[in-house]
Amino acid sequence: MRRGSFHYLIVPGWHGSPEDHWQSHWQRTLPHSQRVEQADWLQPQRADWVAELSRGIAGAPEPVVLIAHSLGCPTVAHWVAQAAPEALRRVRGALLVAPADVERPGCPEPLRNFAPLPLVALPFPSVLVGSDNDPAASANRAGAMGKAWGSEVSMLSGVGHINVESGHHRWEEGLAFLHRLQSLIGEQAQRRA
What fold, for 3-192? Rossmann fold (3.40.50)
pLDDT of amino acid 4: 44
Least confident of 124-128, 170-174, 177-181: 170-174
Task: Name the average pLDDT for the chain.
Answer: 95
Asked whether the predicted pLDDT for residue 3 surpasses 60, the reply is no
Please check whether residue 152 is in contact with residue 121, taking contact to mean a CB–CB distance below 8 angstroms. no
Q: pTM to 2 decimals?
A: 0.96
Provide the greatest CA pair distance for the chain.
Answer: 47
**Are 169 and 22 in contact, with CB atoms under 8 Å apart?**
yes
Cα→Cα distances 156→8, 124, 138, 185, Å: 23, 23, 12, 22
Q: Please determine, for residue 1, whether its predicted confidence score (pLDDT) is greater than 70.
A: no
Task: Give the per-residue pLDDT at 192.
Answer: 84
**Strands (DSSP E) along 39-141, which ranges?**
64-69, 91-97, 126-131
